[in-house]
Each structure stands twice: as structure tokens, then as C-alpha cells.
Amino acid sequence: MPGAYAYYPGCTQESSAKEYGESTKLVCEELGIELHEIDGWTCCGASSAHTTNHLLSVALPTRDLQAAQEMDMPVAVICAMCYSRLKYASHELRDPKTLALVNEVIEKDFQNTTQVLHLLEILDKERIPVRKSLKRLKVVCYYGCILARPKKVTQFDDEENPQIMDRLVSNLGATSIDWGFKTECCGASLTLSRRDLVRDLSHRVLVAAKQAGADCIVVACPMCHSNLDMQQEGIAQQHGDQADMPIIYFTQLVGLSLGLSTEQLMFDRHFVDPRPMLREKGVI
């Protein structure tokens, strides 16, 4: 049921994950899902905030939620980290004392009634008019750690074996391969500080995907994407095997099935260019 949402893009959409944001916009237009970008949205604080100060880590996302409250629409999020932080905030705020304290901090009167949804949850309810079947495409869906975890906070999907993205890609005609690394960690925010570890973890994921026989990995998180895509060169250096594994946002995949062009979907921005693979599979 196409509806209207208060859209929270998240900082990365303005730079490293532009293609995620753009594809999202295009896809939603195609599907008649209204995304109204929250005016003056600010950072959710990401892992840094809750690593450093608990109150801050709740206050920052609450500010955005409050903004959405004024728009009186459910919030649509695409970044897994943002999603997790927003969800976490509203979870914490169920405690009146915390709510009061945070309201004091943000000097607003937030009710904590605003619903937070990930685009996957929204699309899950949509009928997608597939114009271009992806039937020859074999993919693995990679949810990362925080999209589905912890369930008592996100209420997203099964913690250990989420299905929502797999459902989506099979709706698009592609084959989603079951594999064991759906929710394994990619190294997340250690990208800059302990890249060696990121490369270990991401390497595990890439190898698993290859063994599963996937043509590409479908992701729903900018951080996962950057770690898996951008680091592949470095991973090859560190571990001596070249994955050449395209990493594609689920929104880009939907876009393809809706017949959007590779330019519109910004495949040129990927470090590992998916287009040869897509061509070979007759998707483009």
C-alpha cells in the first residue's frame, strides 16, 4: 500500500552511499511511495555516540524522531545503523524517566509514538511490478549485524535467519541462496581504526558468499557496503585471494527489475563493478 513516510536518509547518503540514497528515491517514485525528507535531519550518533555516552546516543536520534513526529508520519530509514539507533532510542524512551530526561536535553516534547520502519519492511508489503526479471541472477542476502539485532529492540525479523530481503529478491525473480553469514559482522566502524580486522571479517563474508555460489552480495547497510566493496582490493592484499564479488544495494536490485538504467542506479560508483556480471546474467 503506497504511503507517505518521513524519510531519514542518513549521513552516508550524501557521500559514500549516494547510490543507495538515489536508488531509493527512484524506486520509491516508481512504486508511488512518498518519501518526505525530514527537514534538517541530523546524525543519529552512530556507534560512536553509544560508545561514548549513553544519554547522547539516545538524545541524538530522538531529535530526528521528534522532527518526524511533527510531520506525523512513520519514519522510513534505509541505513541499518541509523535504523538501529532510531529504534534503540524509541526502545529506551519507553521508560518515562529516560523520556523526560531526553526531552529535557532536546528541549522538546517528544511522545515516542512515532513508528520507525526500514525500507525493507515497507517494500515487504509492496507488490513490485517486475519489468525485467532477474531470473538468472543468484544472490546472497547480507543483512549485517544490527539490522535484525537485537530483535527485542528492532522487531525487524528473525535474528539468526532473517528472510525479508530474501523474500524481496525472489519476488524480483532472482534466486536467493541460503547461507550462514547473513548476520555475521563485517567489521563495522573499525574501518578507519583497525582496518586489518575489518578485512579479516569482510574476507570471511566474501569467501562464504563465493562458496555459496553467489553472483553478488545484496546489502541493506552502507557500512557493510563500504567494507565489503571498497576493501576488496585491500582484502586481496591481506589474504591473497581476489573475491571480485559485486556488492549491490537491494534498492539497486529493485531498480533493475523496474527497468531503471545502470547509470540511474550509479553502478559506476562501485569499486567492484557489477555491470560485467549483470551483463553476463542478461540482466542488462
Binding site residues, another protein, CB under 8 A: 11-12, 14-16, 18, 39-43, 45-56, 59-60, 63-64, 67, 101, 104-107, 145-146, 149-151, 159-160, 183-185, 187-190, 192-195, 197, 200-201, 204, 226, 230, 234, 268-271
Q: Which is it for strands 175-176 and 216-219: parallel, antiparallel or unpaired?
A: unpaired
Output the smallest distance, CB 256 to another protein, in A.
20
Closer residue to another protein, CB minimum distance, 44 or 117: 44
Output the smallest distance, CB 174 to another protein, in A.
25
Closer residue to another protein, CB minimum distance, 258 or 274: 274
Output the smallest distance, CB 21 to another protein, in A.
12
Output the smallest distance, CB 269 to another protein, in A.
5
Output the smallest distance, CB 113 to another protein, in A.
20
Closer residue to another protein, CB minimum distance, 79 or 216: 79
Closer residue to another protein, CB minimum distance, 127 or 151: 151
**Cα distance between residue 168 and residue 126, in whole Å:** 9
Closer residue to another protein, CB minimum distance, 17 or 253: 17
**Cα distance between residue 106 and residue 15, in whole Å:** 27
Closer residue to another protein, CB minimum distance, 67 or 120: 67
**Cell 585491500, residue?**
234
CA atoms within 13 A on the CB side of 30: 23
What is the longest distance spanned by two Cα atoms in the chain? 57
Output the smallest distance, CB 50 to another protein, in A.
6
Output the smallest distance, CB 125 to another protein, in A.
25
Closer residue to another protein, CB minimum distance, 153 or 212: 153
CB atoms inside a 10 Å sphere around CB 1: 8
Residue 13 makes CB contacts below 8 A (sequence gap 6+) with: 20, 21, 78, 79, 222
Output the smallest distance, CB 224 to another protein, in A.
11
Question: Under a CB-based contact definition with an 8 Å cutoff, are residues 235 and 243 in contact?
Answer: yes
Q: Which is it for strands 75-77 and 4-8: parallel, antiparallel or unpaired?
A: parallel
Closer residue to another protein, CB minimum distance, 136 or 275: 275
